[in-house]
Structure 1
Amino acid sequence: MTIRFLSGAFCAALLALPNASFAQDAQSGVEQLRQFVRISKTAEGEFVQQQLRAPKPNEPQDKGLKVIRKTEGRFIFQRPGRFVWDTTKPFEQRLIADGKQLIMWDKDLNQATFRPAGQVLASTPAAILFGEGALEQHFDLEEGAERSGLRWANLRPKAKPSAGSNDLPYTSIAIGMSGGLPRALELMDGLGSVVQLSLMQIQLNIPLPASTFTFTPPAGAEVLRLK
């Protein structure tokens, strides 16, 4: 049995009302992020996601990070903890969080994988932005340097009191804000891999039908239920 999981990288550009954007851009990245988490109950938009890595020892070292994968698609979220991450290019794949479980549907493999949300959900880029809303329960927020026309907020995962460490696979997380909206997300792991995400065409607080976050595998699909 084969399970193909989402990969990624991000780049940016979002829509916002001009007057509101001007006022919000005067705020720090951390202030904009806090406000976004506070006011955003539902949203939908588009994303571009890239996964990059540092050159290998036998590759030219002056080329910088190399793009090894790029995906595009749409997203929908509803707090707390519900979202659809719908990849459309270069393949069709859907990640759905319904508040209790995480479902991945791979059209090419005709395969649906169900698993409890838990830490798997918490470690996804979508959940970092669109999760339960208690962002500062899990992260310390620090103001980052302004770059690429965005104001950045750095997220430092808080250590678990019982374990003394955090299970997130990322050593560095940064969110680029503009006009009160997240336009870019950057995540780095301990092996030098970088995920960059760009969010576009965001619409906030739209009505969503209850069926948005439900999924029934088509007849004949392989279904995996993981514990």
Structure 2
Amino acid sequence: MHTRRFLPLLAGALLVPLLAACDSEKKSDAEEPTTITVLAAASLTDVFKQAGAAYEKEHPDTKVTFSFAGSQELAAQVRQGAPADALVTADTKTMDDLKKDTGAPTVIAKNRLTIATAKDNPKHIKSLSDLSRDDLKVVLAAPEVPVGRYSKKVLDQQHVTVKPVSQEPSVRAVLSKVSLGEADAGIVYVTDATTAKNKVATTTIPDDQNAVASYPAATLKSSKHTAQAADFVKWLSTDGARKLLREAGFQQP
């Protein structure tokens, strides 16, 4: 008799922790943050890693992952249907060419060009015109890359002819060639040169000879997390995000 009474009690006792465990698992699943993927221009690599951490701290329900590359490569990924939620390019032209794939873009920052040289500038490069010298190995970004297009523009305006030893797929690739000593000079963004200030020197390009790069951000229509993507893009224009961009050397939009 006692055994028959005890069995239901035992079953009930065992069921309670089991139900609690299931309930705990459901809560854990519900609390799992939503991951969004942001395709971003290579020149944003360092500052966006900081921005992502800051955003996640303010929005614990969202995790941000980045894919960095030249803007032209990012555009190709979007056209090929790569799974992503937002896009930030280093020029408005690339973004405008993708308007059927994106939401309305917002410019979040601006940048300028500088000449990166080997550390201590041993070749004594003082201006854009010096880049035409025969004794220099100059590397530029390819014409389809935003920084390559800006570089061509400023060189053409000063009637400077450069025969680059290579044309790279991103500004970071140009910077790498110079910092590794594979080139004497290259044209990069001011912010990229700043990230390698212990490896390269810079020669300033005067404002009246320079070009301004604009960085638009937009959601992607193919996103499966439209609300979170829109919130991140909006956050990039907040005071906190602008402070990070400004400290990294970017100019205000």
Question: If the length of structure 1 is used for normalisation, what is the TM-score?
Answer: 0.25
Question: If the length of structure 2 is used for normalisation, what is the TM-score?
Answer: 0.24
Q: Flag the structure with larger Rg.
A: 2
Task: Identify the structure with the greater strand proportion.
Answer: 1
